[in-house]
Structure 1
Amino acid sequence: MIDFWLAAGLLLLVALSFLLIPVLRSRRAQLEEDRTALNVALYQERVAELQVQQQEGVLDAAQMDAGRAEAARELLADTEGVAAPRVTRLGKAAPLLAAILVPVLGLGLYLHFGASDKVELTREFAQAPQSMEEMTRRLERAVAAQPDSAEALYFLGRTYMTQDRPADAAKIFERTVNLAGRQPELLGQWAQAQYFADGKKWSDKVQALTDEALKADPKEVTSLGLLGIAAFEGQRYQEAIDYWNRLLEQLPPDDQSRIALQGGITRASEKLVASGGKVAQAPAAKPAALLKVRVDLAADLKAKVQPGDSVFIFARATSGPPAPLAAKRLTVADLPATVELGDGDAMMPQLKLSNFPEVQLVARISRAGQPTAGEWIGRSQPLASSTTAPQQLTIDSPDK
């Protein structure tokens, strides 16, 4: 940020020079005019002395003329090279007043219309955060600078949940829903945050949010987990088993939460059998999704990028959460490159490609290393998440 203000200060000095240099020149011209007036007065005084001497008979007419000519030559020599006085309508007060107002008005207009906060955020996001608290502060500032960014709000809400701040997260997810629409994943996240904010008490609001989420997407994982809890607490053990089995299908094999989830299914099964019921068989698991995409750079952009610029390749749901479902990071120097995006690359365990029927592939170049904003981008047409044919993606458009 220091280099920005130094550059701004340099430009300000250049602007002030156009105002102050004429004032300094006018002072120099005034000094020259004063010196010329003094020389003229001395010339007139010398001529008067010669006239007195001629009247007293000391000088004759020829001597008088010679003395007058000598005085005239001295006057011309003293005033030689003096420029004619400049006439200005502004005077001295107007340029000085403008020199004061220019920096004041410039600073005021920049603070009102400028984007110093966004410049600073871009510089900060180019560096890895040193702690979760620092990341939270960055996201809060990003939300303040871009209050209409659903992605920034979503990531801030997720961060609040990891910091055990469910009440703050519930407010943020509500704002995200108002901006991005009532998407199933967002409704599920809002319901989860609200549930923990209410002290782990089920409410009509949480029920309504989970019902709406599962009606739009029967595989919305956050809602499945919450409804499993509600069913277990209500002694509807088969419902709890069904919800948790559906959730279990969405988790990667090495996910640590599978152990706790399986333990809940076991306890629900035991209670169901103890009450005289019978555990129904769980449905077969759906195959994992895997997309193969070749990413290249348009020919007219190759001279505009740098080898070290970051390239983010990700798949996101065409109707779902704004967060990427799977992502890979390369550099421009790696292009062209072929990458695979699958359930194993999920940004979050509950957000997998196989959970969404239709996705879009995106490749973004970001010189600042920021995945949510960059200079150039390439997008694919919507395609089924079960697609197995290799895809071609070209980065060819400005990122707006």
Structure 2
Amino acid sequence: MIDLWLVLALLVLPLAVCIAWPLLRSQTRGARPPVESANHSTQAMLYREHLAELEAALESGSVDEAQYASLKNELARKLLAEEGAAYRVSAARSGGRGLLFALAFALPFAAVGLYFSWGAHDDVALYRDIAASHSGQSDMVVEARITQQLRERASTHPQDLSSRYALAQRLLVSNDIEGAVAQYRYIVAHEPEAVNVRAELAQALFFAGGSKMTPDVLSEVNQVLEVQPNNTTALGLAGIAAFDRKDYGGARAFWQRALDQLTPGSNAAQALAAGVARAEKALRGAGEQLAAGEVPSDVPSQGDGDDVADEASRIAVQVTLSGSVQPAPDTPVFVYARTADSPMPLAIVRLTAGELPAEVVLDESRAMMPGRSLSTVNEVQLVARLAIGGNARPAPGDWQGEVKTLSRAQWGKPVHIAIDQKI
């Protein structure tokens, strides 16, 4: 906030100096002999000299009594007129000092007060918090404050779609997927041409459905690709849809188109490259060949071929429910992997309580966002949570089980999580 106060000072202080300048000049002149007093003494002296001359003329008989009286009155009127002008000038120069002092001191305080009352002080503070968050210089308290302030702004300023968009992204990262979907839907309803936001809505809907393709997701993806055929988020989802229906060639084509637009070697590029390699492996397993002109993807791997590359970012988790917990069969169960420093899942699967016990696989196809997947980390936490309230965000009353630390070297081994701890 220091630079803000410096700007305010640069705007207000010069004006205060302009107001105070006449006072400073007046005080400087006050140290000099008063001109008005000197003028008054000179006029009085001249009056006495002229009066003495009139009296001498009267005594000598040069003027009579009537002329003497007339000239004396004229001399007095002249003296009064000159002294009155001098008085008015003096009064004009010395008056109003108190008002100028009051304005010089009150103006800066009034400006600051009006700024806090009418200005965008809260918005500036929020912007600074968000900038600190993006640079990794915030903590959990600041993050919670940012989200709360964005919620309040979305409520009080419904026309501010930029703040609502920032809120949607934060809710998605914090695993409040239903909240993120609601915000994305609001933006798309008011700005149908916001294609990138529609793509993120499709992604949020995909996560809300337990990382499964639904008609809503496909509808949003198709609308995005009609306008932006090379939208990487939509292409990634389209590839997942094609892979799910065993159209491995289509999945490879979608993922390769998205991969071609990304910076080689980036986390997002590595995740998509792994997907392309998986699609090629599935094609070979189905006895199909790559189309003419297509070159197999070059995905770095260790050991023997594609199997090692796939297994390197794959975690199989056996999930069971404690016998002391008796939820409704349709109660959602979220199984996900995350890092210790972020609540954002790297991979997530949605089940229901009626499907337990079950084995799920967390891999690149379950990644929530491009650039954040299992292939980008070497250690994760595993969580299986029974969402009693049906919300993707953890809430009191939910049940969960977890593995606090699982290194990459252990990912190839079976992992068991029992949901037996109440939040």
Scaled to the shorter chain, the TM-score interval is 0.3 to 0.5
**TM-score, structure 2 normalization:** 0.38
Larger Rg: 2
**TM-score, structure 1 normalization:** 0.40
